[in-house]
Amino acid sequence: MAKKDYYESLDVSREANEAEIKRAYRQKAKELHPDRNPENRAKAEEEFKRIAEAYEVLSDPQRRAQYDRYGHAGPNQEFTFGDSDFHRARDAYREFGFGGFDDLFDLFFRQGGTGGSRGRQQLVRRGENIEYKLRITLEDAAHGTRMTVAVPRMVGCEACSGSGMEPGSSKKSCATCHGRGQMEYRQQSLLGSFVNVRACPDCHGSGEMIENPCQECRGTGRVKEKSRISISVPEGVDNGSRLRLREQGNAGVEGGPSGDLFIVIELIEHPSMKRDGRNIHSQSVIAYSDAALGTKIDIETLWGSESLPIPPGTQPGTTFRLKGKGITNIHRGSGRGDHFVDVTIDVPKKLSHKQRKALETYAELLDSS
């Protein structure tokens, strides 16, 4: 089934500003609160998820621009959401004065269906996404490279095979919630009295407790270690570029899938070259006589040494271009940029007697011409 337009989901126009979008989202979320829909909770849950997703996209200027241009798929087919992705939706609703809203999100977005109508929740959970900063040289960014790094991350505990229990141990019903996985709290808000259903703080919604937790992972089913991961860095990456390695993040809980690993590129400053998008800039100093008479100089580029002709009469601040000696744009897939050389002229601070006489003769010739 095709997704409903995000603007239609919130009943706002495509020209709506940020405040109008937030106001519409709050109103919709209030209408879909589970205590207002006790007989049709499943439908309310689906509607709630839909408006939360719509707000998450339309409240983010970058995502909104992407949606306006490409629709639901986005340019990379990646308008997907998990239970940890709805930060803006959570914050916007929390500001309105509802207690227990984080738990409402947990119930609606936890894997396993309509939590509020079932009581005990499954704790199968996707692992967290993690970031790793990778420092590379400008040459690596230009040519691309492959390297292996040690990334700290959570992996499944081998001692208990991820169960969190000592061998031979089992689970028992949670005494706090009597196996239901939920606790009910009546609270007052700006809109009146509400019964908030929250995940049990002791069993975290599972309804069960481990009798003898694993000593290695302390019952979590995961341990932290450094994993050696091979990373392929494509040519053209820039400072701040993010590379996504699917399911290379933290291990999931209770058999859930692993999160993703995001590699954030940090370029090491080059001693003689500066990057400007696809182009490279460097400076070269030439002698006063070479500027006047012309010469050839060797320029070190990212692709090897290049001979650059300097024509007679070159002025200070002249910029020369070495075509195609820059960097590929990773996002546009276009060809390489250029390498620009800014020439400065070395004017000697001290002259020998012969040099001074030669320049004086040259100056006299200029005056007489």
Which residue did the predictor score with more confidence, 196 or 126? 126
Q: How large is the average pLDDT for residues 120-132?
A: 79
What is the percent of the chain with per-residue pLDDT over 70, rounded to a whole number?
79
- For residue 249, what pLDDT band results from cuts at 50, 70 and 90? very high
Report in angstroms the alpha-carbon separations of 298 from 150, 177, 278, 304.
Answer: 40, 77, 22, 10
DSSP sequence for 20-68: HHHHHHHHHHHHT-GGG-TTSHHHHHHHHHHHHHHHHHHTSHHHHHHHH
Which residue did the predictor score with more confidence, 242 or 82? 242
Q: How large is the average pLDDT for residues 266-289?
A: 95
Which residue did the predictor score with more confidence, 106 or 161? 161
Q: How large is the average pLDDT for residues 164-192?
A: 80
- For residue 70, what pLDDT band results from cuts at 50, 70 and 90? confident
Tens digits of residue pLDDT in 27-62:
888 887 766 776 776 777 778 888 888 888 898 888
- Whether the per-residue pLDDT at 238 is higher than 90: the answer is yes
Contact indicator for 224, 152 with CB cutoff of 8 Å: yes
Q: How large is the average pLDDT for residues 282-302?
A: 95
Q: How far apart, in whole angstroms, are the C-alpha atoms of residue 29 and residue 27? A: 5
- For residue 278, what pLDDT band results from cuts at 50, 70 and 90? very high
Contact indicator for 217, 223 with CB cutoff of 8 Å: yes
**pLDDT reported for residue 53:** 85
- Whether the per-residue pLDDT at 297 is higher than 80: the answer is yes
**pLDDT reported for residue 114:** 41
Q: How large is the average pLDDT for residues 300-327?
A: 96
**pLDDT reported for residue 369:** 64
Q: Domains in the chain, please, with CATH?
A: 1-118 (1.10.287.110), 125-166+218-269 (2.60.260.20), 171-210 (no CATH), 274-368 (2.60.260.20)
Tens digits of residue pLDDT in 326-366:
999 877 656 899 999 999 999 888 889 998 898 888 888 87
- Whether the per-residue pLDDT at 237 is higher than 70: the answer is yes
Average pLDDT score, the chain: 83
- Whether the per-residue pLDDT at 307 is higher than 50: the answer is yes
Which residue did the predictor score with more confidence, 69 or 245? 245
Lowest mean pLDDT among 3-12, 113-122, 128-137: 113-122
Tens digits of residue pLDDT in 6-21:
999 999 999 999 999 9
Which residue did the predictor score with more confidence, 227 or 102? 227
Lowest mean pLDDT among 1-10, 38-47, 92-101, 112-121: 112-121
Per-residue H/E/C for 142-207: HHCEEEEEEEEEEEECCCCCCCCECCCCCEEECCCCCCCCEEEEEEEECCEEEEEEEECCCCCCCC
**pLDDT reported for residue 113:** 42
